[in-house]
Structure 1
Amino acid sequence: MSDRTSRTPSPSGPNRRRFLAAAGLTAAGAALAAVQSSAGAAPGRRSAAGAFRVPAEDVRHTRTWMAWPDSTAIWNRGTLAGIQADIALIARTIARHEPVVMCANSASAAKARSLCGTSVTVITSIPVDDCWMRDSGPVFRTDGAGGLDAVGLNFNGWGGKQAHGKDARVAERVAAYTGVPFRHADFVGEGGAIEQDGAGTLMATRSSLLNRNRNPGMPESELTAGMCDAYGASKVIWFDGVRGQDITDDHVDATSRFLAPGEALVQMPLPTDDDAYAEDARQQHRILTGSTTAQGGPMEVTRLQGPDYERIRSGHPDFLASYANYYLCNDAVICAHFSDSRADAAAKTLLARLYPGRVVEQLNIDRLGTGGGGIHCVTQQQPVP
């Protein structure tokens, strides 16, 4: 899950980003303690010192993993139907290009099948709390020789901000479903918090990962080593990020993405935007422009212009209007549009140029955007070994 807004966050309202139910926090605290005690010594742990690494997202996929939301404690009854409709739209669109497996609770599986249609496989063997598969799901790794395994990032509800008893086990259960070896990372985090180029370089925000709600007391050097170990990388490009203004503490995948080794993309704000997220995007662009890859090569950075929040359909103060939160699937790029016609068209044209040979499919997912997320946030790719 990711979150950006160029407006001042609303202090109230039924937004799942502020879901702080007492029972949920109690469960979150227990789960956090459990993963912190087990992360350093996961049973059956495999070393990442070999050839396994998380590949770039543009490789061929075996399937896309998603999760079906059904909690009226997280999404109120007036919001949930719209969120489910957006999730179904994303799933059906991806299913035109590669298989999609939707994890759903037994009580809501029929609804998921009805909305997603026969092109999406809905399973009930992996129960879920919410729809953010990017964060709760496993990170798959390949070895370039037909091998596949998976790493869990010890999801703890974005630092105990949301109930996650089921989601804390999604990563290991997906790995078991696919029949691949599984291990826990040596840190707590989420897939949307880390971007990889598939060749040894990562990028992330300190506000999200170097945070006492995920990794209390952990030095940056230790966290860097843990991330590189889990991802099969050797370098992390760090951004300061934005702390405490959204549930993710500023995930990187709504602003900056890797295009290829030595190539990155940053969604830029309007020159007149002066909020914390606009400054964060500018800083990410500056840092990336001056960075090198794990191999020491220069970084080429492409600017993707974000929309004008005065022109988009949604007027919700927490709305995420991120073109950069796109998802790559086999032969397609799935991204959002927001009704700023000029910016929407420019984003589509740029993505088509950056990913030649892939069709760019733009979707209206405004209900999901109002919940603080995007298309990349609710998907997790399983690469071909």
Structure 2
Amino acid sequence: MPDFRLSRRAALRALAGIGALALGTAACGPGDPSRSTAARRLGAEWGSHARTFMSWPALETVWGEDLRHVRRDIARLARAIAEYEYVVMLARPDQVAAAQKACGADVEVIPLAVDDLWARDTVPLFVEEGGEAVGVDLNFNGWGDKQVHDNDARVGRRLLAEYEIPRERAPLVAEGGSFETDGEGTLLITESSIVNDNRNPGKSRDQIEAELEEVLGMEKVIWLKGVRGEDITDAHVDSLVRFTAPGVILLDRAFPGTPADSWSRSSDQAMSVLSEATDAKGRRFEVIDLPQPDPYRIRGYSDDFLCTYANFYIGNDAVYLPEFGDRRADDRARGILQEHFPRRDIVPVNIDTIATGGGGIHCATHDQPGKPLD
């Protein structure tokens, strides 16, 4: 009997390639002076996606005996997203077959050497310019040379060549998880994750802001303090604050009664900044608390366990939310997300091993804007 799912997958890949070409294959190369960034736009995540990129974890040196468990989490997440939109999994050539078996036929697995699962940080940012897509390569350096990721450092160049999308090398070092935008010219970012000598030595905040405004088409950058040196990312913004619409922000909050620490103080500082700030269009922000689960009721373990609900991923027709085992908190977070995304399904996913590694659903996914595939 013919495998219609595989045939559909092959057809979707062909259509996805056509869609990418239609959205953006300008002839300009990196740094081409003929390219103007005046009309450049970094879209919001709730815009339509052509595909979601993910990466198959490969590093036993990082995951040890948890490698098979984190692969199970990644496969579970990929299957959940593939119920709603096209998913492409990047995997080392010798691991493609195993990844394909784990993820199922509705996920396309392509041979492209990666080191770990953090596609948010290694896949380029896709900006729109004149109806075309440009991939902005952020020069991934292992979160300030904290880990060696030689393959992941090349993902941007290789992936954009695979899909024939023009590449522009950013004038700074950053990761995709460093940025949160409303799609209307406003960028939220933590100072700790980018104004940092482990990424951009000698560069001031003003210099970096000017570079971000140019390369990403931003009109206004709002800086939050963040936390330096206490996690591998230096406190990416996507685990702290997330837009749900222009002018509307969800803010990660510690479970009530939890002793104050660097992370809760960072949340307080973000609230202080956002309560006084306006976006690129002059609007004041509505900031809504997104409380964490009870740390004594979750399934997770390890000092690095990331138990924030803010690290969700907005897909074409669904929002993917971590569930941690505290049923009351999980249900509360799901209700908050459903209120803000009433036309999307809210899909809880168990990602306990990913969270043990200090990451979440958003960290493991990367959207490419474009017309959704049927």
Which residue of structure 2 aligns with residue 30 of structure 1? none
| Amino acid aligned to 1:340 | D
1:120 aligns with 2:107: yes
Which residue of structure 1 aligns with residue 59 of structure 2? 71
Matching of residues 65-144 of structure 1 within 5 Å = 65-76=53-64, 78-124=65-111, 126-143=112-129
The alpha-carbon distance between structure 1 residues 162 and 46, as it changes in their structure 2 partners (threshold 3 A), is: farther
**RMSD (CA atoms):** 1.5
Quote the Cα distance in structure 2 between the aligned partners of 1:356 and 1:191. 26
Instruction: Report the Cα offset of residue 53 of structure 1.
Output: 1.1
1:353 aligns with 2:344: no
Instruction: Report the Cα offset of residue 325 of structure 1.
Output: 0.4
1:194 aligns with 2:193: no
Write the deviation string for residues 263-319 of structure 1: whole angstroms up to 9, x where unpaired.
211011134230110111121122112110012221111111111111111232221
1:320 aligns with 2:306: yes
Instruction: Report the Cα offset of residue 45 of structure 1.
Output: 6.3
Indicate conservation of the 8 Å contact 1:255/1:266, yes or no. yes
2:60 is paired with a residue of what secondary structure? coil
Which residue of structure 2 aligns with residue 232 of structure 1? 217
Instruction: Report the Cα offset of residue 255 of structure 1.
Output: 1.2
Instruction: Report the Cα offset of residue 43 of structure 1.
Output: 4.9
Moved more, 190-199 or 264-273: 264-273
Which residue of structure 2 aligns with residue 11 of structure 1? none
Count of equivalent residues: 342
Match of 1:379 among 344, 365, 369: 365
| Amino acid aligned to 1:291 | A
Instruction: Report the Cα offset of residue 258 of structure 1.
Output: 1.3
Instruction: Report the Cα offset of residue 237 of structure 1.
Output: 0.8
Matching of residues 154-169 of structure 1 within 5 Å = 154-169=139-154
1:149 is paired with a residue of what secondary structure? strand
Quote the Cα distance in structure 1 between the aligned partners of 2:276 and 2:35. 32
Runs of 4+ in 1 over 6 A off after TM superposition: none
Matching of residues 3-14 of structure 1 within 5 Å = none
Write the deviation string for residues 237-279 of structure 1: whole angstroms up to 9, x where unpaired.
1111110011101011011011222121101113423011011
Which residue of structure 2 aligns with residue 305 of structure 1? 291
Write the deviation string for residues 10-45 of structure 1: whole angstroms up to 9, x where unpaired.
xxxxxxxxxxxxxxxxxxxxxxxxxxxxxxx95546
Which residue of structure 2 aligns with residue 31 of structure 1? none
Indicate conservation of the 8 Å contact 1:46/1:183, yes or no. no
Which residue of structure 1 aligns with residue 49 of structure 2? 61
Moved more, 266-275 or 347-356: 266-275
Instruction: Report the Cα offset of residue 222 of structure 1.
Output: 0.4
Instruction: Report the Cα offset of residue 46 of structure 1.
Output: 6.5
2:101 is paired with a residue of what secondary structure? helix
Quote the Cα distance in structure 2 between the aligned partners of 1:297 and 1:360. 28
The alpha-carbon distance between structure 1 residues 345 and 48, as it changes in their structure 2 partners (threshold 3 A), is: farther
Indicate conservation of the 8 Å contact 2:178/2:189, yes or no. yes
Indicate conservation of the 8 Å contact 1:58/1:328, yes or no. yes
Write the deviation string for residues 184-213 of structure 1: whole angstroms up to 9, x where unpaired.
111100000111111111011111100000
The alpha-carbon distance between structure 1 residues 197 and 241, as it changes in their structure 2 partners (threshold 3 A), is: same
| Amino acid aligned to 1:272 | G
Indicate conservation of the 8 Å contact 2:30/2:167, yes or no. no
Indicate conservation of the 8 Å contact 1:154/1:185, yes or no. yes
The alpha-carbon distance between structure 1 residues 321 and 182, as it changes in their structure 2 partners (threshold 3 A), is: same
Q: Percent of counterpart pairs with the same letter?
A: 44
| More relative contact order, 1 or 2 (CA 8 Å, 6+ apart) | 1
Instruction: Report the Cα offset of residue 94 of structure 1.
Output: 0.4
Normalised to the residue count of structure 1, the TM-score between the two structures is: 0.86
Please list every run of 5 or more consecutive structure 2 residues that lacks an aligned counterpart in the other structure.
1-28
1:259 aligns with 2:244: yes
Quote the Cα distance in structure 2 between the aligned partners of 1:83 and 1:239. 31
Normalised to the residue count of structure 2, the TM-score between the two structures is: 0.89
Which residue of structure 2 aligns with residue 336 of structure 1? 322
